[in-house]
Amino acid sequence: MTDTPFVSTAWLAEHLSDPDVAIVDGSWYLPAVNRDPRAEYLAGHIPGAIFFDVDQYADLSTGLPHMLMQSEAFGTLAGSLGIGDDMTIVVYDGMGLFSAPRVRWTFEAMGAKHVFILDGGLPKWRAEGRPLEAGEARRSPTTFKVSFDAAGVASLDQMQAYSQDGARQIADARPGLRFRGEAPEPRPGLKSGHMPMAKSAPADTLVENGTLKPVETLRAQFAEAGIDLDKPIVTTCGSGVTAATLKLALEQAGAKDVVLYDGAWAEWGGRDDTEVLKG
């Protein structure tokens, strides 16, 4: 296997039929993009890939978008999808590198031991003329033993502390205009701006042609943003999706201690007891 978070399209093509390789279509899109990930999956996906519904495979009781499921429920779900915690899980998405990091992080947070992202995602797979299949793929049910990494998920209370004491640097993956409060949030009812002490590191500036930019480029961008890779970091975004892309990029650049705020701006920006800054 690989010592990076990625596997190549060539590697996956060679292992399509391996019973211990579980392929996951983790496509999800912002509402403004007006794309239906499930319909696209049914029309054509990598052979054997299971569709992971980011919005529905979530804790729907919180009122916040695609929050992590309770661990027992996730274990039951993953097992029913035919995905075991010891399998090699390869996640991809329809944009190349957008929502796949979130799905990878979800499986890792729940205890999956070998989770990778398909480098270049579905666009690269298609461009190379590799096979696709339509309809719903199914795998035989198995067991997913959950080992939830609570320490890797930051809570609202922790974020309020970090925004005051700086014990963790806060890296915000939203576009700069939203971070500065110069553009409205796509979700209605949320305040505009950013958390105190947060640094702007837009996820869309870290990706090029469906893959992460080179490590040296990422390091330079984080340095310019004022993010110290040698100190603890927590990532956030609009709803917890691109925060995972930012976390992935930070770790590739050399950061050793990065956690993710699952509630993200959907939680912070919708409350009356959170401080919001502009500029």
Is the Cα torsion angle 97, 100, 106, 112 positive or negative in sign? negative
How is the beta sheet containing 233-236 ordered, strand by strand? 153-154, 258-261, 233-236, 169-172, 198-200
Is the Cα torsion angle 89, 58, 48, 128 positive or negative in sign? negative
Residue with tokens 């929502």: 99
* Tokens encoding 274: 């959170």
Catalytic (active-site) positions: 237
Report how far residue 1's alpha carbon sits from residue 138's, in angstroms, rounded to the nearest whole number. Answer: 25
Q: Which residue blocks in the chain are alpha helix, DSSP H?
A: 9-14, 37-43, 71-80, 100-109, 121-127, 156-165, 176-179, 215-225, 242-253, 264-268
Report how far residue 129's alpha carbon sits from residue 249's, in angstroms, rounded to the nearest whole number. Answer: 28
